[in-house]
Amino acid sequence: MENVNADLKIKIILKNKGNLFANADISIYANSYGFITLKGFQIWKSNVFNNRLNDNINIQPAGKIAFGHFYKQVFFEEKEKWYELEMEIYQEYLKVVNNKKNFNEETVNPEDIQI
């Protein structure tokens, strides 16, 4: 899927495993290095309503579990920038889900098939 922001690429990998809806890989353009990709963002079903996304979804930056505790591997110095990226990830996720639904919908009327 294409983003409006040329300095940002988002790849959504649908999972649908329990509460895990999808993973996301984020590529951000850095002038000196080209695109830098951060892998492993997670899109989860949430019991808590996310007011920013207006949905029961939680988007979590990449991290690892060690000794029963989750450690984030990506940290945003400016919380507002994380909220902007979170919205971009969510919008891309919705595009992928909607495209999959449209692809899976039956486009042939069974009554039109001659037997």
DSSP string, 57-112: EEEE-SEEEETTEEEES---SSHHHHHHHHHHHHHHHHHHHHHHHHHHS--S-GGG
Could you identify the residue written with the tokens 């930056």? 61
**Residue 96 lies inside a defined structural domain of this protein:** yes
User: Count of domains in the chain?
Assistant: 1
- Inside any domain, residue 18: yes
Domain ranges, residue 80: 8-100
pLDDT per position in the chain (115 positions), as tens? 445 578 999 999 999 889 999 999 999 999 999 999 999 999 999 999 999 999 999 999 988 888 988 888 888 899 999 999 999 999 999 999 998 776 655 555 566 665 6
pTM to 2 decimal places: 0.79
Q: Is residue 113 part of a domain?
A: no
Q: Is residue 107 part of a domain?
A: no
Residue 25 domain-assigned (yes or no): yes
